[in-house]
Amino acid sequence: MFSLVRENIKIAVDSIKSQLLRTILTVLIIAIGIMALVGILSGISALENTISSDFSSMGANTFNLQRYDFNVQRQSGRERKKINPVIDYVDVKDFLDKYNFPFTTVSVSFFGTTAAEVKYENKKTDPEVAVIGANEYFLENSGLEIDLGRGLNVFDVQNNNAVCVIGSDLRKALFPDDYPINKTISVRGAKLKVIGLLKEKGSTFGNNQDLRVIMPIQKARSIFTNPNINYNLSVKVGKKDMLEGAQDDAIQTFRNIRKLRPTEENNFGVVRSDDLINRIASISSYLYVAAWIISIITIFGSTIALMNIMLVSVTERTREIGVRKALGAKRKTIAFQFFMETVIIGQLGGLLGIILGILIGWGISKAFELDFSTPWLAMIWATSIAFVVALVSGVYPATKAAKLDPIESLRYE
């Protein structure tokens, strides 16, 4: 039994080798479908991993009050886009004075610029450093960690100290071989002592998270005096079961600050980290469906191509089938031989498609600076689909070959 199976597999492999060009083309057709599936799924997975990890660093018990939320509403040409007022420093001060929900800490921050040039002695960076003014709770509420030194404290903020915390890439640019703590850097002519170094965060969509300077908010306000600076409020709740109450109280407090009537909509945005992650998962589900539709269409074409090629192979080898039947080969033996050919070609196409798909996913991740992870689920699906393609494509040609009449087959030229 096993010797017969081994012999059929050997015959199938020899037949594949004898039609090498046809086999390569067939394998490529199958590989394209599998490549589309694995490549798209791995790319989507990398995108989802990157965005989720960025937002989850905020913490599940954190929410932000900001100028706009992340809802994108379609509006007709006749409708005017709603423009919310900026959250200015007066709003921020009023909120800090009036919001006293228990077990909460409120961080205040604003971007002074995203294109600063930072200097240290005779070294300077390109004008691409982000400068953030913040209070003592900013690092904790943003999920940032200190690698060396310390973060901003209440005394730095209240006394308007000329100190700062820097990102890891800024350290590499200015202090590649030196200890950065207690060194003095210059931002727009202001001298700042480095008191802390942030742990590396990496980049997201080209936005470098490690090329930034964080300084006390009042110090930043004295350097950056642009009109209409927009501030961001982040509230962290110590007890997760109090998150809803803290958020409702914050919204009501800010509505009172903005003097909104009960019938008026909020003219500010409220964003929670877990809401963002859920939205990302929802968007990803649509992308996964689109990926499957594209892949299924491609794989359907691969199935038809493989079946057609195997039918041509059966026709070309009619005489060989007749000789084998005349020598005593049974129907199931002939069918198994052609079926094995189809399975081997299908699995070769699946393997090549998986390799190409992973390379495409990896390339997309590197190009857009995403967190690539090996798409094991996509690989399992691809292997299963390649087998099903071979199964579907091989049944009819194998059955047709098995049913050929040996006498008519021997007459075939």
Long-range Cβ contact pairs of 286-291 (< 8 A, separation 24 or more):
287/44, 288/41, 288/44, 291/36, 291/37, 291/40, 291/41, 291/44
Exposure of 235 in the CB half-sphere (CA atoms within 13 A): 31
Q: Return the structure tokens found at 329.
A: 């080969």
Taking the C-alpha atoms of residue 240 and residue 372, their distance in angstroms, rounded to an integer, is: 31
Sign of the Cα pseudo-torsion (273, 275, 279, 285, in order): positive
- 94 dihedral zone (left: phi>0; alpha: psi -120 to 50; beta): alpha
Angle at 238 between CA 245 and CA 240, to 5 degrees: 55
In angstroms, what is the C-alpha Rg of the chain? Answer: 32
What is the structure's pLDDT at 186? 96
Range list of H helices, 99-194: 138-141, 154-158, 168-174
Q: Which amino acid is at 157?
A: V
In whole angstroms, what is the distance from residue 376 CA to residue 74 CA?
38
pTM for the whole structure: 0.67
Give the Cβ contact number of residue 329 at 10 Å. Answer: 18
The span from the CA of 345 to the CA of 27, in Å, is 6
User: What pLDDT shows up at residue 71?
Assistant: 58
360: its two tokens: 């495409």
The gap from C-alpha 47 to its chain's centroid, in whole angstroms, comes to 1
Cβ pair 234, 152 in contact under 8 A: no
Alpha carbon distance, N-terminus to C-terminus of the chain: 33
Residue 314: name the closest of 333, 330, 337 by CA.
337
What is the mean pLDDT, run by run of 10 residues, along the chain of 413 residues?
A: 68 77 83 83 77 59 86 48 88 95 94 93 91 95 91 94 95 90 94 95 69 95 91 91 92 95 91 71 76 77 80 79 77 80 86 90 80 79 81 81 70 55
Q: Which of the 8 DSSP states describes residue 85?
A: P
Rounded to whole angstroms, the Cα distance separating 14 from 4 reads 15
How many whole angstroms separate alpha carbon 308 and alpha carbon 295? 20
Q: Looking at residue 2, what is its pLDDT?
A: 61
Which neighbouring-strand residues pair with 196? 149, 165
